[in-house]
Amino acid sequence: MEGERSGEDVVSDYLGQNPELAQWVETLRTYCESNKQWVARREFILRNMEAFPTVELGVPSSSLDRLLSLSMVWANHVFLGCSYPLAVMDKIKEMGEGIVVEDPPVHRTTKDESMAKGKRSTTSESDADGCVKRAKCGTNELDSRIAGRTSSAWPVSQKAGPAPHAPAEHQPFFNRLYKAVAWKLVSAGGFGPNLDHFEILRSCVESCKQTLTCVFVPLKDIEGLPAGRTQKEGHVCEIRSQSVYMGTGYGRDEAAAKAMASKEALKVFQGRKVTVKICRRRYKGKDVEDLMLFDEQSRSQGFPPALSYPFQDEPLDDASS
């Protein structure tokens, strides 16, 4: 900044010398932005245009769309307190360096701090009901419904387990998926309860040339739950990709359970990175080694029991009666 002049003064002088640019940039303002919000976001756009050399005045392009998306993400964070994956937060903070917003609003971050500590709230029926309307079934989704199988249909004794080198083999895919999810959440306005979590996860996985596997089990058929819980109707869904466990969710029907499992899976992508690990968890009353996806946060609580186990010597279909 020049002496005591504010950033707004400098931008106004710059636009005064470039009337064509001034006229064009005003077309980028949204109807719901206050003057204060727009002045700050306008400065963000102008400061970062040089980093997008293919942006042309009045010409739609993917570069312009990306710049505008990042400007909205930055404004949402500054003025509304929205949070995004840390990789995105680092990007917008770097791009917004030097922009001074006078008297910025102060936001409570209790929820964000809880998420940063790795706390995961228990899925509630009301949350599931809220997501059921948004749950969609992707055309490439593999739905494995195992509700009708009995315990004797599963060869529990024949467990090969994941190979020791499996995490390293799967890690490159989940690194790509992490980036795809980060940018998808940017375009969606950030992680929140009103998103179609399954559709976001499905589209990101398919953009990385893979598919999701959803396994459903009636809640009453799951062993080891508290007595009060086993009396309730509903389904539990487990989501995997490339045999790696990503999340579990409960709902009154399969669509709601799938929506909640997708939401839990997307929470893992809120850290700086994701990591595939081999961990021990319960499956059909036995401890088994499973491939699981983690963020950087420590886990003080146990994992939910596995609903499926893809590391068997014999295919499940061959063992079923």
pLDDT-wise least confident of 107-111, 271-275, 283-287: 107-111
Percentage above 90 pLDDT, the chain: 26
Split at pLDDT 50, 70, 90, the class of 317 is: very low
- Please give the average per-residue pLDDT across 99-103, as a whole number: 83
DSSP classification of residue 303:
P
Split at pLDDT 50, 70, 90, the class of 108 is: low
Query: Largest Cα–Cα distance of the chain, in whole Å?
Result: 82
Split at pLDDT 50, 70, 90, the class of 63 is: confident
What gap in Å lies between CA 78 and CA 258, rounded to an integer? 33
What confidence score (pLDDT) does residue 264 get?
Answer: 92
The two structure tokens encoding residue 142? 């593999």
Please determine, for residue 165, whether its predicted confidence score (pLDDT) is greater than 70: yes
Better pLDDT: 3 or 67: 67
> Is the overall model pTM greater than 0.85, yes or no?
no
Can you give the length of the chain in residues?
A: 321
Better pLDDT: 201 or 31: 201
Q: Which of 194, 157, 210, 177 is nearest to 319 (CA)?
A: 157
Please determine, for residue 140, whether its predicted confidence score (pLDDT) is greater than 80: no
What confidence score (pLDDT) does residue 258 get?
Answer: 94
Phi, psi at residue 145, to the nearest 5°? -95, 115
Mean of the per-residue pLDDT values of the chain: 76
What gap in Å lies between CA 249 and CA 235, rounded to an integer? 8
Please determine, for residue 292, whether its predicted confidence score (pLDDT) is greater than 50: yes
